[in-house]
A and B are shown apart, each in its own frame.
Chain A
Amino acid sequence: MDRGKIHSLNPIHVIGLIINSMVGVNLLSLSHFASKMGYNLWMAPILLGIIVTLTVFPMIALCSRYPGDTLFGIHEKLLGKWLGSCLNVLVIVYAILNTSTANEGYVRLLQTSMLNNQTITMPLLGLTLVMMYITNGGIKLVARFCLLALFFTGWMLVLLHYGFQKGGLSHIFPLFNTDLASVLDALNQSSGSMLGYEILLIYYPFIIEKNRARRHVLIGVWTVVFFYVLVLLTSVAYFSEWQVANLVYPILNLFKAVELSFLERVENLGIGLWVFLILSTSTAYLWMARTGMEQLAGKRRLWHLLLPSAISYFMIRGPLSVEAQRYLYDQLTVYFAYGLILWPIFLLMLHALRRGRGEKVS
């Protein structure tokens, strides 16, 4: 075990963490979210990838100035104990919201597709327990689980060729047949699918090769963009524009296109395996919440893990109405994320003012 050893993430772990914390529940509806762009929707991930790349630079720049601290530590050092703690609470809330987003989206899909004559209590409870168990092992276990999940689910990309063959790629023409308003709308809607790389701000101190971290992060990000473009090109070939705009889970229908002689209803298998992608996202965020709680309390306790998990569980299963949940997951989380992604730029300026440009603080 790597308990107590701080520097534990090697390059492969970093790439795995980036890929699998990004790919999650949002991929299920990605083509639906980007459907405003019509048949040009496959360009959305590329544009998003460029935005993500641009925001990775300030993140790494900030973290490399504080090589021993997570974002929570940076807050306390830079803004003082009191203000820093207040911001840390916000970041913890953000992490819990994202955990819930992943779990809720998946459980809702299960409810509509596989278990449509059951309530979601048991699946959700199982999901939460496994999530807690993995997170309890620390960031290295989360990273290893991400790699495992990548190998368990990555092969499903091969299944895309069934949908690809049935449709015609000629649908992508004419290129650039869209306007700025719909592009921006599509980007806003589908930006949730690119979230996950910002956890980098928290696990940066655990990376072994810090000076090459940016490269590994970008490899991860552009691998995800490549996966997304493949999925979206298949959607373009397989669906009509009406279908893309009206199907809530296009991935489910793409799975249905698969015809294997020895196996029917591959979508059930695919959706079942999808739990790995969900868990790898939600564990990373739960770990983020736990680290924040530890920073607040100044010590390491089990309830730092239990509390966020319980909040996330009762957000989904509890008294919140569906409309309120939708608002939390689809709107609040995304706007929160925009803030968090741009936050390092502000912190960098503050750092330059207080400590001088490029100064390192250990």
Chain B
Amino acid sequence: MRWSSWLFLIALLSCTLAGCAAEYERPALEDMAMIGVMGFDYVDDTQMKVLVSIPVPAKGKETTQIYATQASMTSEAMLALAPKVERTITLSQLRVILFSEELARKSGIGKVVLDLYRNPIVGENVFIAIVKGKVEDVIRGKYKNKPEINTYLNDLLRPRVETAFSSFSTIHDFVFMMTSNIGDPNLPYLVKQDGSIEIAQVALLRKDKMIGLYSQREGKLVQCLLGRKRLPRVKFGFGGPDAAEENADMEEIIFDFVWSKSKVRSNGNTKKPVIHIDLELRGVVVGYDGKKNLDKRPQITKLVKQMEKRIQSETKTMLKNYQKWGVDPAGLEESLRQKYHGKWTREKGLALYKKADLNIKVKLDILGYGTIK
């Protein structure tokens, strides 16, 4: 044999030596306890109660371990939890972070999120949500006919069209919204009722502190303004017993937005700012209850006009209210920032935003109305 072959053989054999090495630094997969959900409850201004839920891999039956401790930082909580768990705990499979409303309102969630953002073990697709009441009740709750809590919450918060009325905030998204200086972050607001969890509303935050809630319907418009292409279905109702003479017919429409586009531009004037909002929406009528014959062009044009007017007025009322309260979940300040030369700060942005005039145009296309006229 040539010497090179001997060298190769020796190299190959020395690889097997790895089996003799003491292995204590990276435990095998079965020895890891992978935290799926972390929850934070308010105790006082510095302390919080940290709950973690860990799925236990077992054949046939899914079980979950839940541990709790008190700490002021996430990493400190991990330190305190480590001896309690029989395996090595890791954050590498973390999927959901829950905060109680009290914590979000009183001490803010920025510290916890930034602590996790620092940790390179934590992945990017970790969703953040705010819970009504105590997080402990949600994590320890029993849910009939649902998968175990880790899978359940992850599935619930995963981006879907049906729940697209709130921003699906991963850690990165939240840190982005918190530090971007062009708007107020929003997060899904979970409510536990009747043995299940529902994304009931959208929580509005200023920096990292929760300041209020808005409804799903408003959330859909806000998402449209933020530039989401695919929006959830919306119900429109026209007419009714106390409506004006010309549209006295009762009509109900469930509209599915197939495609939407929003253009938010400002005029760049700091004395008298104007924000132009152009909404372009296309969609199909999913459900219709009314007297119109949707096969006839003039009738459908009339319907389009009605809906455009409705969306326009709803958007206007909503944004006017936000301006009055000085909050900006729709990120309209971005359009002002784009035309602003000099150092941009949130205070300047809010001042401009509050006095801005809004000019909203809506263009709607009905692409289809189902199989009956």
Question: Nearest Cβ distance between residue A228 and chain B, in whole angstroms?
Answer: 22
Q: Are A170 and B338 in contact (CB under 8 A)?
A: yes
Most B-side CB within 10 Å, residue of A114, A238, A243, A259: A243
Most A-side CB within 10 Å, residue of B25, B92, B172, B334: B172
CA distance A257 to B334 in the complex (A): 22
Q: Is B124 an interface residue (CB 8 A)?
A: yes
Q: Is A7 an interface residue (CB 8 A)?
A: no
| Residues 336-360 of B at the A interface (beta carbon under 8 Å) | 337-342
Q: Are A256 and B123 in contact (CB under 8 A)?
A: yes
CA distance A249 to B64 in the complex (A): 35
Q: Are A243 and B179 in contact (CB under 8 A)?
A: yes
Q: Which residues of A contact B179 (CB under 8 A)?
A: 240-243
Q: Is B186 an interface residue (CB 8 A)?
A: no
Q: Are B120 and A113 in contact (CB under 8 A)?
A: yes
A113 nearest in chain B by CB position: B120
Question: Nearest Cβ distance between residue A65 and chain B, in whole angstroms?
Answer: 44
Q: Which one, A116, A174, A238, A240, contacts B120 given CB within 8 A?
A: A116
Q: Is A173 an interface residue (CB 8 A)?
A: yes
Q: Are B121 and A117 in contact (CB under 8 A)?
A: no
Q: Given A117-B26, A174-B338, A177-B341, decide whether A243 and B120 contact each other with a Cβ distance below 8 A.
A: no
Q: Are A170 and B123 in contact (CB under 8 A)?
A: no
Q: Is A118 an interface residue (CB 8 A)?
A: yes
| Residues 98-144 of A at the B interface (beta carbon under 8 Å) | 112-114, 116-118
Q: Is A265 an interface residue (CB 8 A)?
A: yes
Q: Are A117 and B123 in contact (CB under 8 A)?
A: no
Question: Nearest Cβ distance between residue B67 and chain A, in whole angstroms?
Answer: 21
Q: Is A93 an interface residue (CB 8 A)?
A: no
CA distance A166 to B173 in the complex (A): 9
Q: Which one, A116, A240, A259, contacts B125 given CB within 8 A?
A: A259
Q: Are B123 and A112 in contact (CB under 8 A)?
A: no
Q: Which residues of B contact A253 (CB under 8 A)?
A: 124, 172
Q: Given A117-B26, A177-B341, A256-B123, decide whether A170 and B334 contact each other with a Cβ distance below 8 A.
A: yes
CA distance A113 to B181 in the complex (A): 29
Kindly state the interface size class of chain B when it binds its partner.
20 to 34
CA distance A118 to B25 in the complex (A): 8
Q: Is B55 an interface residue (CB 8 A)?
A: no
Q: Is B294 an interface residue (CB 8 A)?
A: no
Question: Nearest Cβ distance between residue B182 and chain A, in whole angstroms?
Answer: 8
Q: Are B25 and A239 in contact (CB under 8 A)?
A: no
Q: Is A168 an interface residue (CB 8 A)?
A: yes
Q: Are B176 and A240 in contact (CB under 8 A)?
A: yes
Q: Which one, A173, A238, A242, A264, contacts B123 given CB within 8 A?
A: A264
Q: Given A117-B26, A170-B334, decide whether A257 and B172 contact each other with a Cβ distance below 8 A.
A: yes
Q: Are B172 and A256 in contact (CB under 8 A)?
A: yes
Digit string of B164-184 for contact with A (CB within 8 Å is 1, else 0)? 000000001101100111000
Q: Given A117-B25, A170-B334, A170-B338, decide whether A243 and B176 contact each other with a Cβ distance below 8 A.
A: yes
Q: Is B273 an interface residue (CB 8 A)?
A: no
Chain A interface SS verdict (over half): loop
Q: Is A345 an interface residue (CB 8 A)?
A: no
Q: Which one, B124, B227, B337, B338, contacts A257 given CB within 8 A?
A: B124
CA distance A239 to B173 in the complex (A): 9
B334 nearest in chain A by CB position: A170
Q: Is A252 an interface residue (CB 8 A)?
A: yes
Q: Which residues of A contact B175 (CB under 8 A)?
A: 240, 243
Q: Given A116-B121, A240-B181, A256-B172, decide whether A177 and B342 contact each other with a Cβ distance below 8 A.
A: yes
CA distance A238 to B176 in the complex (A): 8
Most A-side CB within 10 Å, residue of B25, B124, B176, B181: B124
Q: Are B120 and A252 in contact (CB under 8 A)?
A: yes
Q: Given A239-B176, A253-B172, A256-B172, decide whether A174 and B123 contact each other with a Cβ distance below 8 A.
A: no
Q: Which residues of B contact A177 (CB under 8 A)?
A: 340-342
Q: Are B123 and A265 in contact (CB under 8 A)?
A: yes
CA distance A265 to B25 in the complex (A): 20
Q: Which residues of B contact A116 (CB under 8 A)?
A: 120-121
A244 nearest in chain B by CB position: B179
CA distance A170 to B340 in the complex (A): 13
Q: Which residues of A contact B173 (CB under 8 A)?
A: 166
Q: Are A256 and B181 in contact (CB under 8 A)?
A: no
Q: Which residues of B contact A238 (CB under 8 A)?
A: 176
Q: Are B338 and A256 in contact (CB under 8 A)?
A: no
Q: Which one, A168, A240, A259, A265, contacts B227 given CB within 8 A?
A: A168
CA distance A256 to B117 in the complex (A): 12
Question: Nearest Cβ distance between residue B122 and chain A, in whole angstroms?
Answer: 9
CA distance A265 to B120 in the complex (A): 11
Q: Are A174 and B334 in contact (CB under 8 A)?
A: no
Known contacts A240-B181, A241-B180; 19 further A-B pairs (Cβ under 8 A): A112-B120, A113-B120, A114-B120, A116-B121, A117-B25, A168-B334, A170-B338, A174-B337, A174-B338, A177-B340, A177-B342, A238-B176, A239-B176, A240-B176, A240-B180, A242-B181, A243-B179, A259-B125, A265-B92
Q: Which 3 A-B pairs have the closest CB atoms?
A: A242-B179, A256-B124, A173-B338
12 sample A-B contacts, Cβ–Cβ < 8 Å, listed by A number = A113-B120, A168-B334, A173-B338, A174-B338, A239-B176, A241-B179, A242-B179, A243-B175, A243-B179, A252-B120, A259-B125, A265-B123
